[in-house]
């Protein structure tokens, strides 16, 4: 959650920021390896909930906006993300499923993206588990994700569980918001 991250706006800042970030990461995680990523200022943090079974089927269960954060920890989660254009939403959902399909993903998970003010989206990471905020997705889809994840791990096909992209499209409704007290 933000440990080892540094914002670098000029070449002069790079060396000190690198040394501080690697030191902090090494201390916190036992690994000082560093990734350099594009800075997306005032970006929106969008997460796509996915589910993959053992037979190659992957579905998305739409997205959440987790932009409101305090010290890199999510404070407000909203599903579906309120400020995405339909075109940007579909691109993000398609990319999340494409990524999961490419790696043969099998489980519940979350694919995270940043969206800039021009609606470009950038992949951040995959969390190979349910996250605390999965409940907002359950509210808009009517799916119990814990129960679904257990059934998938026990060998059920998503289709046997009635979980197809088409069935989800007809059941996604409303808005759900989760707030955390910090």
Rounded CA-CA distance 151/146 in Å is 9
44 token code pair: 């929106």
CB proximity list for 39: less than 8 A, separation 6 or greater: 7, 8, 9
**Selected catalytic residue, list 129, 143, 153, 180:** 129
Q: Which residues pair with 112 in a beta bridge?
A: 47, 125
Evaluate whether 166 touches 59 at the Cβ level (below 8 Å): no
Q: Measuring CA to CA, which residue among 81, 70, 76, 73 is closest to residue 180?
A: 76
Q: Is 129 considered catalytic here?
A: yes
40 token code pair: 């997306």
For the chain, strand residue ranges (E) read: 44-52, 58-65, 69-70, 73-74, 76-79, 107-115, 121-127, 176-179
Rg (CA), the chain: 18
Active-site residues, by number, are: 129
């Amino acid at each position: 959650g933000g440990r080892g991250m540094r914002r670098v706006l000029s070449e002069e800042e790079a060396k000190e920021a690198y040394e501080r970030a690697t030191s902090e990461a090494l201390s916190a995680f036992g690994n000082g390896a560093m990734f350099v990523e594009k800075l997306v200022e005032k970006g929106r943090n969008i997460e796509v909930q996915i589910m993959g079974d053992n037979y190659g089927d992957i579905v998305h269960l739409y997205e959440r906006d987790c932009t409101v954060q305090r010290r890199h920890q999510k404070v407000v989660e909203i599903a579906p993300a309120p400020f995405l254009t339909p075109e940007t939403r579909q691109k993000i959902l398609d990319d999340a499923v494409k990524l999961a399909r490419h790696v043969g993903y099998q489980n519940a998970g979350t694919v995270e993206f940043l969206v800039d003010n021009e609606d470009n989206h950038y992949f951040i990471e995959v969390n190979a588990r349910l996250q605390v905020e999965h409940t907002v997705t359950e509210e808009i889809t009517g799916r119990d994700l814990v129960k679904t994840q257990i059934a998938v791990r026990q060998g059920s096909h998503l289709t046997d569980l009635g979980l197809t992209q088409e069935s989800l499209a007809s059941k996604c409704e409303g808005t759900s918001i989760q707030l955390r007290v910090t």
